[in-house]
Amino acid sequence: MSQVKLVVDAMGGDDAPDVVLEGVEQALLEDPEIFVYLTGPAKIVVPFAEGHERCEAVPAEEVIGMGEHPANAVRKKKDSSIVVGCRLVKEGKAAGFYSAGSTGACMSAATLVIGRIKGIKRPAIVSVIPSPAGKTVFADMGANADCKPEYLVQFALMGRVYAQATLGVDDPTVGLLNIGEEETKGSQFAQECHAVMKEQVPNFIGNAEGKNIALGGFDVIVTDGFTGNVALKTFEGAAKALLKGVKEALRSSLKAKIGGLLIKDALKDMMANVSTEEFGGAQLLGVRGVCLIGHGNSSARAIRSGVLATARAIRQDMPGRLSAELDKIRAAQTAQRKKQANDND
């Protein structure tokens, strides 16, 4: 296995840089084939890099805060840890970038600095939603609040490629998140999306309801970024509340505590399956390089998972897979147009 070079933003996250450095250290120990470029203030990244093999410090003295306007900050703060990191990907020194910093800034920097894949109108934030019922690829999770039906078609196509690579599904099923299963359900926008996706998305099997995010039934579920972000955070909050309720119930009496001991291992396995710490972040698909964005409150464990997930995405060559899929679609559309022209003649 060849060495994978990636960038980590040392200043990304609520508890940066401490948890980031700890997470990077864990990832370096776990995967001996990764090389990390660490961006951030010299006083932080240089001492860490000097004490760790396969790590190089790339000083970046500016930091983009969570409350700053993403696009403006990216344009003004050229020496920020996020912009410098994305520039390393653009220059080909690294193949991927990971940050638990501002989602908007990461998305803006990836789009403006790394650049979009040819043919992609809007990159989408995509991730695997874990649940006891299985795993579902979900897009878009917040990159595009306002969408057109053609954007959702591209989200679906990118989601299918992502599902093939991460879930190992040859022909992933696709659903459109809606308020009911019938074609006539939902807003006018949802109905327009359904009609277009039915024509243009392979293995599109209809509308998915909110319950399908947790209960399964679709390999890929697609929606606009506004709805997707609300749905995701609702799902995360419900999962945390449920687990908290289970823990409290198991501590409520001596009998419950004994029962808790009996199911401890099974409960631990279930929690591992739905833990966001094991996934590390969501991937921004549609840019000419791998870009993973972690949660702002990521722990060291989540940072470690995010770094390892970035390395996996690089090895899977997600940008190359997407480019190849789009080329195939364009070739098929060109052939179809030629056939129609010949038939008309």
**Domains of the chain and any CATH numbers:** 1-120+286-345 (3.40.718.10), 122-277 (3.40.718.10)
Compute the average pLDDT of residues 42-70: 93
Find tokens 């996020």 and name the residue: 82
Task: Judge whether 172 and 203 are in contact, CB under 8 Å.
Answer: yes
Confidence of residue 16 (pLDDT cuts 50, 70, 90): confident
Q: Which residues of 2-15 are buried (b: 16+ CB within 10 A; e: fewer)?
A: eebbbbbbbbbbee
One-character DSSP codes across 223-234: --HHHHHHHHHH
Which has the higher per-residue pLDDT, 235 or 74? 74
Count of CB atoms situated within 10 Å of the CB of 277: 17
For the cut 60, the answer to whether the pLDDT of residue 274 exceeds it is: no
Query: What token pair was written down for 259?
Result: 């029962």
For the cut 90, the answer to whether the pLDDT of residue 323 exceeds it is: no
One-character DSSP codes across 167-194: T--SS--EEEE-SSSSTT-S-HHHHHHH
Q: What is the pLDDT of residues 210-221, one digit of tens each?
A: 989 888 889 999
For the cut 80, the answer to whether the pLDDT of residue 345 exceeds it is: no
Compute the average pLDDT of residues 277-290: 86
For the cut 80, the answer to whether the pLDDT of residue 342 exceeds it is: no
Read off the pTM.
0.88
Compute the average pLDDT of residues 291-305: 90
Q: What is the pLDDT of residue 152?
A: 96
Compute the average pLDDT of residues 127-153: 87
Which has the higher per-residue pLDDT, 235 or 60? 60
Query: What token pair was written down for 221?
Result: 């579920």
Strands 134-139, 124-131: pairing kind: antiparallel
Compute the average pLDDT of residues 166-172: 90
Q: What is the pLDDT of residue 270?
A: 60
One-character DSSP codes across 295-330: -TT--HHHHHHHHHHHHHHHHHTHHHHHHHHHHHHH
Q: What is the pLDDT of residue 338?
A: 77
Q: What is the pLDDT of residue 272?
A: 60
Compute the average pLDDT of residues 240-251: 81
For the cut 90, the answer to whether the pLDDT of residue 52 exceeds it is: yes
Which has the higher per-residue pLDDT, 288 or 133? 288
Q: What is the pLDDT of residue 273?
A: 58
Q: What is the pLDDT of residues 192-231, one digit of tens each?
A: 999 999 999 999 999 999 989 888 889 999 999 999 989 8
Q: What is the pLDDT of residue 303?
A: 93
What percent of the chain is predicted at pLDDT more than 70?
94
Which has the higher per-residue pLDDT, 258 or 29? 29
Measure the CA–CA gap between 51 and 148, rounded to whole angstroms: 49
Query: Residue 176 forms beta bridges with which residues?
Result: 207, 222
Q: What is the mean pLDDT of the chain?
A: 88
Closest CA to 144 of 248, 201, 225: 225
What percent of the chain is predicted at pLDDT more than 90?
58
For the cut 80, the answer to whether the pLDDT of residue 267 exceeds it is: no
Confidence of residue 335 (pLDDT cuts 50, 70, 90): confident
Q: What is the pLDDT of residue 261?
A: 77
Q: What is the pLDDT of residues 62-75, one digit of tens each?
A: 999 888 998 899 99
Tally: H helices and E strands in the chain:
12, 11
Measure the CA–CA gap between 27 and 30, rounded to whole angstroms: 5
